Amino acid sequence: MPKVSISRLKNAPPILRVAELNKVFKSTGGDTQALDNINLDIEKGEFICLLGASGCGKSTLLRIIAGFETATSGEAALYGRTIDEPGPDRGIVFQDYALFPWLTVYENISFGPRHRGLSSEEVRHTTEKFLKMVGLTAFSKHYPSQLSGGMKQRVAIARVLANDTDVLLMDEPFGALDALTRAKLQEELLEIWEQTNLTVIFVTHSVEEAVVLADRIVVMSASPGRIDSDITVELPRPRDVSSEQFNALRRTITQKLSSNLGAVRQAKSIISD
Ligand SMILES: Nc1ncnc2c1ncn2[C@@H]1O[C@H](COP(=O)(O)OP(=O)(O)OP(=O)(O)O)[C@@H](O)[C@H]1O
């Protein structure tokens, strides 16, 4: 029995709209067009993976949605409001955890709720709820340096969840983890996603990770960063990585990425000739 049917997404209102968005980085070495005319509508509750080769602009797009970076033209809007700064409606999880090393696990997670002005009872309730959700209740008094990579990433996820965020932005969050821990955290993330109303935008290089996780895979191509294709994943959950359908989709997407890479190499060689 699939845990989540993608039918739960039908008719959900779009909450995030990226429209005609361009990003050019100017530097003394020349301009880099990181993103070229990106258009993307994301519905509430969707799990989107941004997938593409290094340099295709995945992180730049995520950082613009997070409000850390501004578009050169076009816009990203959440609930109809242009994003021009970070906000509590979006939380970001990076590959390198970005925890406060001087705070315990409990204090890292309770930091947001305390600064939101919740009562001490609400802070305790929220912190304990998310500690439990990520399976770290027994480690609440540990410091980040006393945790494994997987545990640190669980704390980072719990910290974002405790901020009562709507959109969870994840930039290759499991990229530094070993294969087994990565698979476990993917499973846990999907469980959390099912228990909450979160919209997830997840950046990855890994085709397999995207096919395991996503409702939609947005495949990007580089130089400049563009959306190459937007693929709805109809496979039931939990997904069987050894199934024929899983592998057929993985192959199709890998071929797309390879042909994108080939086109970029060809374009670069024409430019440099
Ligand atoms: N602050 C910056 N200044 C100048 N150029 C930048 C800056 N940030 C990114 N770029 C350039 O923009 C392009 C897209 O970079 P970005 O990091 O978004 O790609 P990515 O797909 O996330 O890559 P990776 O998978 O390697 O992290 C690259 O050519 C990169 O060199």
With a pLDDT cut of 90, the percent of the chain lying above it is 71
Hey, whose CA ends up nearest to atom 18 of ligand 1? 57
Average pLDDT over residues 182-189: 91
**How many Å lie between the centroid of ligand 1 and the Cα of residue 35?**
9
With a pLDDT cut of 70, the percent of the chain lying above it is 90
Average pLDDT over residues 243-254: 95
Average pLDDT over residues 191-201: 91
Ligand 1 lined by 67 (C-beta under 6 Å): no
Ligand 1 lined by 60 (C-beta under 6 Å): yes
Cα 60 to Cα 54: distance, rounded to the nearest angstrom: 12
**How many Å lie between the centroid of ligand 1 and the Cα of residue 34?**
6
Cα 18 to Cα 61: distance, rounded to the nearest angstrom: 9
Q: Answer whether residue 8 shows pLDDT above 50.
A: no
Q: What pLDDT does residue 36 have?
A: 96
Hey, whose CA ends up nearest to atom 17 of ligand 1? 59
Residue pair 82/186 in contact by the 8 Å Cβ criterion:
no
| Residue pointed to by tokens 């499973």 | 187
* ipTM, 2 dp: 0.97
**What are the tens digits of pLDDT across the range 33-85?**
999 999 999 999 999 999 998 889 999 999 999 999 999 999 999 999 999 99
Pocket test for ligand 1, best of 50, 59, 69, 207 (most atoms within 8 A of CB): 59
Average pLDDT over residues 201-217: 95
Ligand 1 lined by 56 (C-beta under 6 Å): yes
Q: How many CB atoms lie under 10 A from the CB of residue 259?
A: 12
226 Cα distance to chain centroid = 18
What 3-state class would DSSP assign to 86?
A: coil
- Residue 46 Rama label (left phi>0; alpha psi -120 to 50; beta): beta
Ligand 1 lined by 27 (C-beta under 6 Å): yes
Average pLDDT over residues 188-196: 91
Q: What pLDDT does residue 4 have?
A: 42
Residue pair 76/83 in contact by the 8 Å Cβ criterion:
yes
Query: Which strands, in side-by-side order, build the sheet including 32-43?
Result: 32-43, 14-25, 73-78, 81-82
Q: Compute the C-alpha angle 222/167/5, nearest 5°.
A: 90
Residue pair 6/215 in contact by the 8 Å Cβ criterion:
yes
**What are the tens digits of pLDDT across the range 77-131?**
999 999 999 998 999 998 876 899 999 999 999 999 998 889 999 999 999 999 9
Determine what percent of the chain falls in helix, strand and coil, rounding each to the nearest 5.
Answer: 40, 25, 35
**How many Å lie between the centroid of ligand 1 and the Cα of residue 59?**
7
In the structure, what pLDDT confidence band is assigned to residue 10 with cuts at 50, 70 and 90? low
**What are the tens digits of pLDDT across the range 218-247?**
999 988 899 999 999 999 999 999 999 999
Q: Answer whether residue 6 shows pLDDT above 50.
A: no
**How many Å lie between the centroid of ligand 1 and the Cα of residue 57?**
6
Tell the burial category of 28 from Cβ atoms under 10 Å away from its Cβ (0-12, 13-18, 19+).
exposed
Return the CATH class of domain 6-89+166-272.
Answer: alpha beta
Ligand 1 lined by 59 (C-beta under 6 Å): yes
13 Cα distance to chain centroid = 20
Q: Answer whether residue 166 shows pLDDT above 60.
A: yes
Ligand 1 lined by 54 (C-beta under 6 Å): yes
Q: Answer whether residue 5 shows pLDDT above 60.
A: no
Ligand 1 lined by 55 (C-beta under 6 Å): yes
Q: What pLDDT does residue 65 have?
A: 97
Q: What pLDDT does residue 117 have?
A: 85
In the structure, what pLDDT confidence band is assigned to residue 272 with cuts at 50, 70 and 90? low
Q: What pLDDT does residue 264 have?
A: 65
What is the chain's length?
273
| Residue pointed to by tokens 């670069």 | 268
Q: Answer whether residue 1 shows pLDDT above 70.
A: no
